[in-house]
Amino acid sequence: MTGVRLLGLGHAVPDRVVTNAELETALDLEPGWIARRTGILERRWAAPDDTLSGLAVAAAEAALDDAGLARREIALTVLATSTPDHLLPPSAPRVAHRLGLTASGAVDMAGACAGFLYALVMAEGFVRAWRRPVLVIGANLLSRRINPAERGSSVIFADAAGAVVLAPGGTGGLRGAALGSDGTGYDLVHIPAGGSARPFAPDLPIEDTRMTLTDGKALFLGAVRLMTETAREALEQAKLTADAVDRFVPHQANARLVDAVAHNLGIPPEKVARSIAQYGNSSAGTIPLSLSLSHRAAPLRPGEIVLMSAAGGGLTGGACVLQV
């Protein structure tokens, strides 16, 4: 029994549903503009008093309840997010404290859209090495980082969280993993100010503290390439073909990206987990959200092969093959 078990899954989204009609009216867009370009029909946005840590706690509570483990057994909490409650300190210790994980280490991971996948790969390695359970969360409040002046990006981003619990035992776990990056695309999507390279200043324009897409086409093409290449490499490591994949859970940037990567890999639509139409793009939140929703609709079976792939800002990306 030297494998890793996927013991629990959960997700959480804010109550507020933001429809395309609402945004199309606010942005003076013709009806149907958003759906045609993105495949998104609605998304969830947090209320003014909601916090990233609160949403992460809600998703984690669901995953921990599903796992049925005592809280004291969790050895590590990894939170993948690009929108922490504060720039400093990290949000993961607050999340672990609110969950009552008194024996858990806790750390944030800023991997943009690929953050959850990186966190999952590293957490799985921790479980194998130290034989202790780990909680992995992907969560973002991207509505707080939207630049309304950019129509193409402001209609995409959303708020959501998903979580999984990994534990030692069984014969499952990662059979293949491939992580990649392409720093030539570093500025394709970014927040110009607020970091150490350009700190906050009294005269800083508010739009410089919001997400900016400098070249949407280049970002799309780079993400498709990185997701496809790493997915093929992860399958090769696992000594599997795409035909062996039971469930494909890609990052949900937009419907065209999901379709393009699935087509490149030869994975039929019925095997693709999708959440983009109802929940939009929550960056690191999309894969655990999609996985949890897919599991709720059709429970994961022992031995099932799940392929996950993501790419986003940085460019940072990767893929992994998980045997349940």
Active site residues: 113, 251, 281
What three-state secondary structure class fits 299? coil
Of 314, 260, 317, 255, the C-alpha closest to 281 is 255
Amino acid occupying residue 199: P
What three-state secondary structure class fits 225? helix
Question: Is residue 180 within 8 Å of 318, Cβ to Cβ?
Answer: yes
According to DSSP, the residues that pair with 180 across neighbouring strands are: 317
Distance separating alpha carbons of residues 164 and 70, to the nearest angstrom: 15
Distance separating alpha carbons of residues 284 and 111, to the nearest angstrom: 8
What three-state secondary structure class fits 183? helix
What three-state secondary structure class fits 182? coil
Biggest CA-to-CA distance, the chain: 59
What three-state secondary structure class fits 121? helix
Instruction: Give me 93's structure tokens.
Output: 């210790």
Alpha carbon dihedral 238, 323, 163, 39, in 10-degree steps, equals: 70
What three-state secondary structure class fits 4? strand
C-alpha gyration radius of the chain: 19
Distance separating alpha carbons of residues 35 and 254, to the nearest angstrom: 10
Phi and psi at residue 202, to the nearest 5°: -60, -30
Distance separating alpha carbons of residues 163 and 178, to the nearest angstrom: 21
